[in-house]
Amino acid sequence: MKIRIWREEQLKDIALIIKQRVKKGDLVIFSGELGAGKTTLIKYICSLYGIDPDRVKSPSFSIQNIYPGPTMRVNHYDLYRVADIDDLELLNLFEDMEDALTLIEWGSKFIDVLGCHCTLMVSMGYLEGSVQGREIIIGKGGKEG
């Protein structure tokens, strides 16, 4: 599914589309350029699970943020600074996935490892010649079932 948006508020609609396609135990990988809106989209997704969007911050330096919500816990990872597979394994993200929705920014760096666990892939990019316009592609991941 390919969607073009022109305003940040339209990410709320994208968040709803993603929520309708995932459940507890699923993993979603977000990719795209710096500043494309990955964290902002994740804020909107978290808000749909009753999590205060003001609490949702990019885990660029902490690498992982956990957001307990009234209906679902959301695990939010940013793998931009994770250098290799050994560092990825230290995060224990596979152990924490079963009882939460796991959202991973920059997860495409480790697609060989994460791909078979991934329910959805979300790619975000700037529309050519536009500061605000974005193209968002939502595709199936490699997880069966």
Average pLDDT per run of 10 along the chain, which is 145 residues long? 94 97 95 92 97 92 92 94 83 82 93 87 91 91 69
The sign one gets for the Cα dihedral 107, 110, 112, 116 is negative
At 56, the amino acid letter reads V
Per-residue pLDDT at 144: 61
Q: Is residue 42 part of a domain?
A: yes
- Structural domain that includes position 25: 15-124
When divided into structural domains, the chain yields a total of 1
Q: Is residue 39 part of a domain?
A: yes
Q: Is residue 9 part of a domain?
A: no
CATH number for the domain that contains residue 104: 3.40.50.300
Helix (H, G, I), strand (E, B) or coil at 72: coil
Q: Is residue 10 part of a domain?
A: no
